[in-house]
């Protein structure tokens, strides 16, 4: 019985892949792990953006409600779609997507200018996060994933430029 335990032990470790994972393709694994972490960071920001834009769409008051309710609603819907793409990319890479939003506070206000400034802050952060991710996806070499993330990155840049002009 004792002998059986001793001879089985190396096989058990090998069959669980400890040896292979530690010594084969270490660079690829590190690149993938970093990409999963960055994608999870982006997912946290998207989940926060869904909440923030939905909150502002519901709370916007005054004449600007006519334009900003649809605009904020559109941004909330877009963030939900971005979150879906990012979540699926994380799963494809073998990671576990986060379920909590980024903890950066969502400031309550009914004033349009404050909402737009918070939106600009959020889109600036999103553009920064995806600019970083796009380089990591390129290294991993998944063309479909690269195209999907690039579309998100370009959408963040468009929102950023729109907000910059609205606030100008």
Applying CB under 5 A, the residues found at the interface with Fe ion are 79, 82, 126, 156, 159
Q: Which is nearer to Fe ion, 142 or 162 (CB)?
A: 162
d(CA 79, CA 7): 54
d(CA 78, CA 53): 10
Give the nearest residue (CB) to Fe ion.
Answer: 82
Residue 160 CB, nearest distance to Fe ion (Å)? 8
User: Which one-letter DSSP state was computed for residue 102?
Assistant: P
Residue 29 CB, nearest distance to Fe ion (Å)? 28
Residue 3 CB, nearest distance to Fe ion (Å)? 59
Residue 127 CB, nearest distance to Fe ion (Å)? 8
Q: Is the Cβ–Cβ distance between 148 and 89 less than 8 Å?
A: yes
Radius of gyration of the chain (CA): 22
Q: Which is nearer to Fe ion, 140 or 157 (CB)?
A: 157
Q: Which is nearer to Fe ion, 21 or 161 (CB)?
A: 161
d(CA 124, CA 38): 16
């Amino acid at each position: 019985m004792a002998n059986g335990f001793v001879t089985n032990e190396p096989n058990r470790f090998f069959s669980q892949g400890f040896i292979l994972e530690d010594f084969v393709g270490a660079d690829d694994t590190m690149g993938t792990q970093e990409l999963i972490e960055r994608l999870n960071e982006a997912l946290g920001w998207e989940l926060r953006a869904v909440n923030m834009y939905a909150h502002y769409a519901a709370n916007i008051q005054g004449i600007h409600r006519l334009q900003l309710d649809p605009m904020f609603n559109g941004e909330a819907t877009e963030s939900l779609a971005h979150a879906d793409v990012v979540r699926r990319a994380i799963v494809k890479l073998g990671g576990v997507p986060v379920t909590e939003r980024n903890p950066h506070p969502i400031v309550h206000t009914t004033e349009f200018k404050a909402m737009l400034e918070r939106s600009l802050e959020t889109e600036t952060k999103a553009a920064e996060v995806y600019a970083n991710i796009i380089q990591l996806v390129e290294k991993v070499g998944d063309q479909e994933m690269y195209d999907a993330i690039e579309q998100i990155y370009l959408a963040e840049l468009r929102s950023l430029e729109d907000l910059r002009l609205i606030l100008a």
